[in-house]
């Protein structure tokens, strides 16, 4: 099987490419990535010279280029991770989110129709369901929970989901969609909460916690997300949506305190800062469908996953110091200047 993994130089796509290259030596894995600020070839370095792996630099919005790639490579399956993925950036500049996350998806699906594929898989997010109240732990997102988005990022991802389902119904494109909760693990760009807190705590820098740190996220170790997608691509039913999550709800403050404890750093590093506009209160997934229909089970609890993650950041300082010593400095200064 030949698979196209778009956005494979990013966090989750990179972990997925590593997993596929090792798990399926008989398959061909091609990563297509535009190498935006979030794309990093150092993430792919460990697999770059594997015989079943190839990297191609390019933009999913570039129709001519994408068509040529499909014509040359004749992919069997396409797994689309490519996206602008950071909520705070979408609040500052929504436009690129609409381009990549919606128009890019259209280009990919048009290429799939033109050249033929066995499966197009869209990697979506729990954020398309909006948020849940903090005082109703009984409520969880199900696949039939209505779409109700809060940020330009989540609105762009929800738009893409609707387009993907429209291509299935109208053109019969064999699509699947997965909606996962918050991921964490190796190669996570340090603009997101967990790697930001680990890298700043290791440098004894103040840790920005939005509002009171009471917002809740449902955390999943990244390789558990990857194994779920692999199962959906191989065994999932065309036209179906699958929720992915491992029942690991934690408030942001709990997450930050856990990391500080593991690192032996003081809680005095915590700084409560101005809240994110439109900040979703709580995400919580019901993964019953993928568990019962496809037999998926996560391997890591939050306690085991966070330890593994911290260990990775301790052992791979070079990977993240290359990032935070570059353009990231300007990003951090700009993004956080009005929050203090």
Residues of the shown chain interacting with ligand NAD in the complex, contacts defined by CB under 6 A: 6-7, 9-13, 33-36, 38-39, 59-61, 81-83, 85, 100, 104, 123, 125, 157, 180, 182-183, 189
- The Cα 109–Cα 115 span in angstroms is 10
- The Cα 17–Cα 9 span in angstroms is 9
- The Cα 108–Cα 244 span in angstroms is 23
153 annotated active-site: yes
218 annotated active-site: no
Q: Does residue number 126 form part of the binding site for ligand DAU (CB under 6 A)?
A: yes
- Cα–Cα distances (Å) from 272 to 63, 70, 172, 184, 192, in that order, read 44, 48, 49, 22, 16
Give the residue from 242, 231, 243, 225 showing the smallest Cα distance to 298.
225
Partner in contact with 7, chosen from ligand DAU, ligand NAD, none, beta carbon below 5 to 8 Å by kind:
ligand NAD
Q: Which token pair is 193? A: 């909460």
Binding positions for ligand DAU, 277-306, rule CB under 6 A: 283
- The Cα 175–Cα 240 span in angstroms is 8
Select 126 or 161, whichever has its Cβ closest to ligand DAU: 126
- The Cα 14–Cα 43 span in angstroms is 6
The site map against ligand DAU for 152-191 (x = CB under 6 A) is: -----------------------------xx---------
Q: Does residue number 131 form part of the binding site for ligand DAU (CB under 6 A)?
A: no
- Cα–Cα distances (Å) from 291 to 217, 246, 285, 296, in that order, read 20, 10, 12, 5
127 annotated active-site: yes
Select 80 or 215, whichever has its Cβ closest to ligand DAU: 215
Q: Does residue number 208 form part of the binding site for ligand DAU (CB under 6 A)?
A: yes
One of 140, 196, 228, 324 touching ligand DAU (CB under 6 A): 196
One of 17, 18, 43, 86 touching ligand DAU (CB under 6 A): 86
Partner in contact with 87, chosen from ligand NAD, ligand DAU, none, beta carbon below 5 to 8 Å by kind:
ligand DAU
Q: How far is the CB of 189 from ligand DAU (least distance, A)?
A: 9
Q: How far is the CB of 22 from ligand DAU (least distance, A)?
A: 25
DSSP string covering 113-168, please?
Answer: HHH--SEEEEEEEGGGG--B-TT-TT--B-TTSPP---SHHHHHHHHHHHHHHHHH
Q: How far is the CB of 206 from ligand NAD (least distance, A)?
A: 24
- The Cα 41–Cα 322 span in angstroms is 12
- Write out the catalytic residue numbers: 126-127, 153
What residue ranges bind ligand DAU (CB under 6 A)? Answer: 85-87, 125-127, 181-182, 192-193, 196, 208-210, 215, 217, 252, 276, 283
């Amino acid at each position: 099987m030949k698979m196209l993994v778009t956005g494979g130089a990013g966090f989750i796509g990179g972990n997925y490419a590593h997993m596929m290259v090792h798990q399926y030596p008989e398959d061909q894995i091609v990563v297509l990535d535009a190498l935006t600020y979030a794309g990093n070839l150092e993430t792919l370095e460990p697999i770059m010279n594997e015989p079943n792996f190839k990297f191609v630099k390019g933009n999913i919005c570039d129709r001519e280029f994408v068509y040529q790639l499909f014509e040359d490579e004749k992919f069997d399956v396409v797994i689309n991770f490519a996206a602008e993925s950071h909520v705070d950036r979408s609040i500052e500049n929504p436009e690129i989110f609409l381009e990549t996350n919606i128009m890019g998806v259209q280009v990919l699906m048009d290429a799939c129709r033109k050249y033929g594929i066995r499966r197009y898989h869209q990697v979506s997010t729990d954020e398309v369901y909006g948020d849940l109240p903090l005082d109703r732990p009984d409520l969880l997102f199900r696949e039939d929970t209505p779409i109700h988005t809060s940020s330009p990022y989540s609105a762009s991802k929800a738009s893409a989901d609707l387009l993907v389902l429209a291509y299935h119904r109208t053109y019969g494109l064999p699509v699947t969609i997965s909606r996962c909760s918050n991921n964490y693990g190796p190669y996570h760009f340090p603009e997101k909460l967990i790697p930001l807190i680990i890298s700043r705590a290791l440098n004894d820098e103040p840790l920005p916690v939005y509002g009171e740190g009471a917002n809740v996220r449902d955390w999943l170790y990244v390789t558990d997300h990857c194994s779920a997608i692999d199962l959906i691509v191989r065994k999932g039913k065309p036209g179906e949506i699958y929720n992915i999550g491992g029942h690991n709800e934690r408030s942001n403050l709990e997450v930050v305190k856990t990391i500080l404890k593991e690192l032996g750093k003081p809680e005095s590093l915590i700084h409560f800062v101005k809240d994110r506009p439109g900040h979703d209160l709580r995400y919580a997934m019901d993964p019953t469908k993928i568990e019962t229909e496809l037999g998926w089970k996560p391997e890591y609890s939050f306690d085991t996953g966070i330890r593994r993650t911290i260990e990775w950041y301790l052992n791979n300082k070079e990977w993240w110091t290359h990032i935070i010593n570059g353009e990231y400095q300007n990003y951090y200064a700009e993004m956080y200047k009005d929050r203090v």
